């Protein structure tokens, strides 16, 4: 089952925060409000597809600081910045750091809905991609040292005959290993497994 998406709203203006949450929930988008960064960090679930509407200026820890915290933690959550005192330099900084948009308060409700809906689609895609990467990583971790060795050679483009010669084993034995590798990885073929490893940017575990 696909986890339900959620929008985190982090804004010290409680009324605006609740108003936006109501707007989103009116179109069946789950939203939760936080008026400070600390409470958000306590509740944030990285294992759920989400996006965040984040105010730039807040007491103690501001929006840019939170963005940096999330970036350092490797979070892929898409961020929509909002500010009542925005300028070009501020918006450029936000976008350079990975924000998907920068909206000035007061924002148009329909425009905000459009941006959030598009951003949630992006979040779902990122979440699905990350889930596939984790699954493939877990499956590769189950390979034996010899299977990892052979998979590395397959990725390098070596045919079974060359692998057999290099390892001093028969071609039939290589093909048996290839079949086991494919089955453990849950791949339709070795070609699709190689493609997936490369597309996900995975480094094979040490043998």
Confidence at 187, pLDDT banded by 50, 70, 90: very high
Partnered with residue 34 across adjacent β-strands are 10
**DSSP label at residue 77:** -
Domain with CATH 1.10.10.10 in the chain: 141-199
- Average pLDDT of the segment spanning 76-99: 83
Distances from the Cα of 90 to the Cα of 41, 71, 115, 135, 170, angstroms: 23, 18, 19, 38, 63
- Average pLDDT of the segment spanning 183-203: 92
Tokens encoding 10: 């982090």
Phi/psi of residue 143, each to 5°?
Answer: -75, 145
pLDDT of residue 120: 95
- Average pLDDT of the segment spanning 150-164: 96
pLDDT of residue 1: 37
Architecture of domain 6-133: 3-Layer(aba) Sandwich (3.40)
CATH number of 141-199: 1.10.10.10
In whole angstroms, what is the distance from residue 105 CA to residue 151 CA?
A: 54
Confidence at 207, pLDDT banded by 50, 70, 90: low
pLDDT of residue 130: 85
- Average pLDDT of the segment spanning 151-170: 96
Does the global pTM surpass 0.85? no
Task: Give percent helix, percent strand, percent coil of the chain, each to the nearest 5.
Answer: 55, 10, 35
Domain with CATH 3.40.50.2300 in the chain: 6-133
Tell me which residue has tokens 């990885």.
185
Among 51-55, 60-64, 169-173, the range scoring the smallest mean pLDDT is 60-64
Tokens encoding 167: 């390892």
């Amino acid at each position: 089952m696909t986890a339900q998406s959620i929008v985190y709203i982090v804004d010290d203006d409680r009324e605006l925060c609740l108003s936006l949450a109501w707007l989103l929930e009116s179109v069946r988008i789950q939203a939760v409000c936080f008026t400070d960064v600390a409470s958000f960090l306590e509740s944030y679930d990285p294992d759920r597809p989400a996006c965040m509407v984040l105010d730039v200026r807040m007491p103690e820890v501001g929006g840019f600081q939170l963005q940096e915290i999330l970036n350092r933690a490797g979070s892929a959550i898409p961020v929509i910045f909002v500010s009542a005192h925005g300028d070009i330099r501020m918006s450029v900084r936000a976008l350079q750091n990975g924000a998907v948009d920068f909206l000035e308060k007061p924002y148009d409700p329909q425009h905000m809905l459009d941006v959030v809906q598009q951003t949630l689609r992006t979040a779902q895609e990122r979440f699905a991609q990350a889930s596939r990467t984790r699954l493939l990583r877990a499956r590769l971790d189950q390979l034996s040292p010899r299977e990892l060795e052979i998979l590395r050679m397959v990725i390098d483009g070596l045919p079974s005959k060359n692998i057999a010669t290099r390892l001093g084993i028969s071609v039939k034995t290589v093909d048996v290993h290839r079949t086991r590798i494919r089955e453990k990885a849950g791949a339709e073929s070795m070609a699709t497994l190689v493609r997936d490893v490369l597309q996900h940017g995975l480094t094979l575990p040490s043998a």
